Amino acid sequence: MRTGDCCDDYHTACHISAAVDCEVGQWGPWSPCSSVCGAGTTERSRQVATPPRNGGTPCPDLKQRRGCFAHTETCSAAKEVAKILPDSFKRNFKDPWRRPHMLIKEEKKSYCVYMRVKQVSVACKVKLWSAQLVRERSVCVECQSDAMATDNHCRGDGLKDIRTFWAAASAPGCSGSWVRESSTENCRCPPYSVLFV
């Protein structure tokens, strides 16, 4: 154009548009913590409002992630360690210190919890009953009335899809973790199961 020798169609054929920088929207809300209890991650994202063109500034990050620490009521329940015994130990065990003149508490219905074993210590192989606690095996654990706390539940009876812990009361060093799969009210576990104590 400075020399005056441009073709007549220069503006339509050769004209270059101005560069357009990327524009993004506002950040969305942070997602819930990935962990129900303890350390996890949370993330947020944003959308592209105007994509870059003609060599404009590229888009910045569209996602952000940061650490989080979840501490809910679930956390304290997840830290409870279930104490267990084989069902052959005593079905309907009674408090040996109870005296006849003491008030007899109202009998509560037992319930069953099905747990999938995730970890087992080597010490569990010593006893015949605890050797049955094998990784990835589902086990029925019964909560009988005498083992129930004031809230009508056995301590350490697990949380749905969250790893919790157990220890065998009659096998020193035998412990592990499991995940609660389901529970059934007013039931009894089949023979060769375990009991909460």
Helix (H) or strand (E) holding 77: helix 73-78
Give the mean pLDDT of 70-97.
70
146 has pLDDT over 80: yes
Least confident of 5-14, 40-49, 71-80, 98-107: 98-107
55 has pLDDT over 50: yes
Residue 117's pLDDT is: 93
Helix H, strand E, coil C: the string for 28-70 is CCCCCCCCCCEEEEEEEECCEEECCECCCCCCCCCEEEEEEEE
Give the mean pLDDT of 138-165.
86
Average pLDDT value over all residues in the chain:
82
d(CA 113, CA 25): 48
Q: Which two tokens stand for residue 88?
A: 């052959």
Residue 12's pLDDT is: 57
Q: With contact defined as beta carbons under 8 Å apart, do 77 and 58 qualify?
A: no
Give the mean pLDDT of 110-129.
92
Q: Which two tokens stand for residue 163?
A: 């790893």
Residue 16's pLDDT is: 57
User: Bigger pLDDT: 85 or 151?
Assistant: 85
Percent of the chain with pLDDT strictly greater than 70: 77
22 has pLDDT over 80: yes
d(CA 131, CA 168): 11
d(CA 15, CA 11): 5
Q: Using 50, 70 and 90 to split pLDDT, how confident is the model at 93? A: very low
Residue 6's pLDDT is: 67
Q: Which domains does the chain have, with CATH numbers?
A: 10-71 (2.20.100.10), 79-100+108-196 (no CATH)
Residue 54's pLDDT is: 85
66 has pLDDT over 80: yes
Q: With contact defined as beta carbons under 8 Å apart, do 179 and 163 qualify?
A: yes
